[in-house]
Amino acid sequence: MAFGDHEKDPGWQYLKQSREQMLADQSKPYDSKKNVWIPDAEDGYVAAEVTATKGDQVTLVSARGNEVTLKKELVQEMNPPKFEKTEDMSNLSFLNDASVLHNLRSRYAAMLIYTYSGLFCVVINPYKRLPIYTDSVARMFMGKRRTEMPPHLFAVSDQAYRNMLQDHENQSMLITGESGAGKTENTKKVIAYFAAVGASQQEAEGGPAAVDTGEKKVTLEDQIVQTNPVLEAFGNAKTVRNNNSSRFGKFIRIHFNKAGRVASCDIEHYLLEKSRVIRQAPGERCYHIFYQIYSDFKPQLKKDLQLDLPISEYWFVAQAELTIDGINDTEEFQLTDEAFTILKFSEEEKMDCYRLMSAMMHMGNMKFKQRPREEQAEPDGVDEAEKAAAMYGIAQEDFMKALTKPRVKVGTEWVSKGQNLEQVHWAVGAMAKGLYSRVFNWLVKKCNVTLDQKGYSRDYFIGVLDIAGFEIFDFNSFEQLWINFVNEKLQQFFNHHMFVLEQEEYAREGIQWTFIDFGLDLQACIELIEKPLGIISMLDEECIVPKATDLTLAQKLVEQHLGKHPNFEKPSRQRANRLRLTLPCATMPALSATTASTGSRRTRIPSTTPSSR
Ligand SMILES: Nc1ncnc2c1ncn2[C@@H]1O[C@H](COP(=O)(O)OP(=O)(O)OP(=O)(O)O)[C@@H](O)[C@H]1O
Ligand SMILES: *[C@@H]1O[C@H](CO)[C@@H](O)[C@H](O)[C@H]1NC(C)=O
Ligand SMILES: *[C@@H]1O[C@H](CO)[C@@H](O)[C@H](O)[C@H]1NC(C)=O
Ligand SMILES: *[C@@H]1O[C@H](CO)[C@@H](O)[C@H](O)[C@H]1NC(C)=O
Ligand SMILES: *[C@@H]1O[C@H](CO)[C@@H](O)[C@H](O)[C@H]1NC(C)=O
Ligand SMILES: *[C@@H]1O[C@H](CO)[C@@H](O)[C@H](O)[C@H]1NC(C)=O
Ligand SMILES: *[C@@H]1O[C@H](CO)[C@@H](O)[C@H](O)[C@H]1NC(C)=O
Ligand SMILES: [Mg+2]
């Protein structure tokens, strides 16, 4: 194949290894009987050479130079050198863990981050910007078959686009991997690619269809791409796993007309992590937007928002980190603000949004005290309450009354209900979380409206799913359970879809095949959580039982499941009161695939009881 012009592109070396390198790799000596992989504590697997075999014991010299004797079943075959850095791992003669990992590792060492594994594409996070997402690289992939080009997300995307037009079917891409694997980065590239393809289709038809926003022409494609800075400012935060972690899931659908032109786009969002608005674990930050507002991009803004204390004094956002290495909040705020404009948010809407953020910061500093010998809380100074109320556009007295003596309806009458200090604190936190999640919902809704360009018919769509990735922290909150549960369900869906359906087809076509039960080991755990009498339904039930506590729930769960369900375990002594579940997790570390992952390791998922410390 002649790649002539492609080779001149600065990105090419990160997509295809050079001929010289390929020849060097393939000239390595190899003997299928001698060259093997053996387990290694440090690297997972290490190359070794068989020197003797006796019964089921094999003696080998490892690449580290030491002699080892192992059981035969622990030794894995090595592929011939012609498969070194192969672009599609389904071609390997020996498809075992060691070979798959070796292939990914050696490609990654050469900065070839994309590798196919049959129908899906595996990506390894390079943690550095590679010139492989440029317009010129995108153009190389447009209209090409997957087999004609090296592995790339663009090839997968282009295939989806072509399948959509040829088969008249909607398409979806599932991007999965643990937190920090690169799902969101890759999602952005996919979206940008479709925007570029849709736009080039437009040029071909003649006449750019642009939206006039007054100053300069903004295309729908630009607007689609610009939803990222807005959603990320409000929905992303620093965690210990990822400086830019998505704390919500999203499904973006780009709609096309019959001719393949971008018609509109919509976004569905799931499970925003609300607890972060009022609590941050060590090493983490609240949502980016709070620190962006506090940056100097709009010097007057802090005054307008009455934020006159240093940011470290605002409890709701200052429990852990305040800055992130490598991220300049001033520059990020500029991007957010510009994106707002491109998405047609008015100055007033922007300002309202910032005022609500400021109100939450003030709310976190409001102080209350308990009246002596009474179960009734009252404000302890109203400075911050004044400011929060001003931001909300309500009277401070009404605001305080609603928190300390809320009016509730009893039968047909309205009565004032007394609140103790703890109840008021809960109410303040709940209000901030509720408000934040409504602001987020409003943002997505506004984007939906802007991206729904009337006029073009929505014949097909390509959807891209990007969720919050699997994560295991030292202390896992209630929300981690849902994040991880969703990840497991998707993995299960994927296994079922890819492997089970494939095998059913073999059966239909009469191909001889031993049915393999891929990933069904996840099913038991998923059922433990979601089936009737499972954890979710028991939690729901416990919520309406008067005087129920974490402990009563834990007791009921133990009675129901301990000893009866293989995935249900009682906590160790040190972690008394905290339930744990063991669950096989199929997410590979630091890997993100457009449609898959392999391997399986035992991990633990978080405590099901909200903190009972
Ligand atoms: N293809 C890439 N090129 C360069 N950098 C990347 C790439 N993919 C990921 N990164 C880097 O890794 C970081 C984490 O990636 P990303 O935010 O996409 O992870 P994620 O899988 O969405 O995680 P989470 O589940 O926490 O949202 C990015 O901020 C970026 O610095
Ligand atoms: C891998 O397999 C595909 C399809 O079977 C084939 O087209 C391709 O040439 C193979 N690649 C290599 C490097 O063997
Ligand atoms: C594809 O999605 C559109 C909505 O965008 C829907 O109207 C249509 O029925 C779907 N087509 C198929 C084949 O499912
Ligand atoms: C986080 O995401 C924002 C929005 O896309 C981006 O501008 C920023 O560079 C990202 N930060 C890092 C560290 O990648
Ligand atoms: C965050 O970014 C800094 C600077 O780029 C880097 O050193 C650090 O490893 C990143 N942290 C995570 C969890 O990705
Ligand atoms: C952040 O960016 C702004 C504007 O580009 C610049 O003035 C400022 O010095 C930067 N701050 C840091 C800490 O790099
Ligand atoms: C955005 O539009 C999609 C499709 O119409 C819809 O499913 C989703 O709920 C909308 N989101 C919001 C926040 O309105
Ligand atoms: Mg993400």
**Mean pLDDT rounded to a whole number for the chain:** 88
Which single residue is written with the structure tokens 């898959």? 596
- pLDDT tens digits along 225-266: 999 999 999 999 999 999 999 999 999 999 999 999 999 999
Q: Determine the distance separating the centroid of ligand 6 and the alpha carbon of 295, expressed in angstroms.
A: 10
Residue 223 lies in a domain: no
DSSP summary character for residue 414: E
Q: What is the pLDDT of residues 530-588, one digit of tens each?
A: 999 999 999 999 999 999 998 999 999 999 999 999 889 887 655 544 444 333 333 22
Residue among 533, 460, 373 nearest 198 (CA): 460
**pLDDT recorded at residue 470:** 93
Residue 573's pLDDT is 58
**pLDDT above 90 (res 143):** yes
Task: Return the best residue to mutate from 82, 91, 145 for the ligand 2 pocket (most ligand atoms within 8 A of CB).
Answer: 91
Task: Enumerate residues 6+ apart whose C-beta is below 8 A from 22.
Answer: 84, 85
- Residues found in the chain: 613
Q: At what angle do helices 329-342 and 220-235 cross, to 10 degrees?
A: 140
What global pTM score does this model have?
0.90
From the list 180, 260, 429, 519, the catalytic residue is 180
Beta-ladder partners of 249: 270
Q: Which residue has the higher pLDDT, 590 or 107?
A: 107
* CB distance 182 to 245 below 8 Å: no
**Cα of 137 to ligand 1 centre, how many Å?**
20
**In a domain? residue 483:** yes
Task: Name the pLDDT band for 5 (thresholds 50, 70, 90).
Answer: confident
Count of domains forming the chain? 1
Per the annotation, the verdict on 90 as an active-site residue is: no
Show the tokens assigned to 374.
Answer: 């009474």
pLDDT value at residue 87: 97
532, part of any domain: yes
| pLDDT at position 475 | 80
Contact at 8 Å (CB) between 590 and 180? yes
Q: Which two tokens stand for residue 446?
A: 């506004």
Catalytic (active site) residue 176? no
Look at residue 320 in the predicted model and tell me its pLDDT: 96
pLDDT at 584: 32
Per-residue pLDDT tens over the stretch 402-414 = 999 999 999 999 9
Atom of ligand 4 nearest to the CA of 229: 4
**51 in a known ligand binding site:** no
Task: Find the catalytic residue in 198, 260, 429, 469.
Answer: 469
Return the structure tokens found at 540: 């729901």
- Which stretches does DSSP call E strand in 176-321? 210-212, 217-219, 236-237, 245-246, 249-256, 262-270
Residue 500 domain-assigned?
yes
Question: CB within 8 A of 91, min separation 6: which ones?
Answer: 83
- Tell me which H or E stretch contains 360: helix 347-363
What is the SS3 string spanning 440-492? Answer: HHHHHHHHHHHCCCCCCCCCEEEEEEECCCECCCCCCCHHHHHHHHHHHHHHH
pLDDT digits (tens, 9 = 90+) for 457-510: 999 999 999 999 999 888 888 899 999 999 999 988 888 887 777 788 888 888
501 lies in a domain?
Answer: yes
Q: In terms of residue numbers, what domain contains 541?
A: 478-567
Q: Is 468 in the pocket of ligand 1 (CB under 6 A)?
A: yes
Query: Which of the pair, 603 or 286, is modelled with greater confidence?
Result: 286
Q: Are 237 and 184 in contact (CB under 8 A)?
A: no
Question: First and final CA of the chain: distance in angstroms?
Answer: 64
> What are the structure tokens assigned to 310, written together?
């240093």
Q: What is the CATH number of the domain that holds 549?
A: 1.20.58.530
Q: Which of 286, 239, 267, 125 is nearest to 480 (CA)?
A: 239
Yes or no: say if 229 and 220 are a contact pair by the CB < 8 Å rule. no
Q: Which amino acid is at 182?
A: G
What is the pLDDT averaged over residues 160-176? 95
Nearest to 598 by CA among 494, 459, 513, 476: 494
Least distant ligand from the CA of 457: 3
The answer to whether residues 192 and 133 touch, using CB atoms and an 8 Å cutoff, is yes
Ligand number, closest to the Cα atom of 458: 3
Establish whether 599 is a catalytic residue. Answer: no
Q: What percent of the chain stands above pLDDT 70?
A: 89
Average pLDDT over residues 144-162: 95
As a whole number, mean pLDDT of residues 334-359 equals 97
| Residue 320 in domain | no
Q: Above 90 in pLDDT, residue 158?
A: yes
Average pLDDT, stretch 122-144?
95
CA atoms within 13 A on the CB side of 392: 21
Contact 427, 440 (CB under 8 A): no
Q: What ligand 4 atom has the least distance to the C-alpha of 335?
A: 7
Residues 138-159: what's their mean pLDDT?
95
pLDDT at res. 520 = 64
Cross-strand partners of 470: 178
What pLDDT is attached to residue 477? 86
Asked, for residue 527, whether it belongs to a domain, the answer is yes
Is residue 525 domain-resident? yes
Instruction: Tell me what pLDDT residue 575 has.
Output: 52
Does the structure show a pLDDT above 60 at 435?
yes
Is 246 assigned a catalytic role? yes
The pLDDT score that the predictor gives to residue 585 is 31
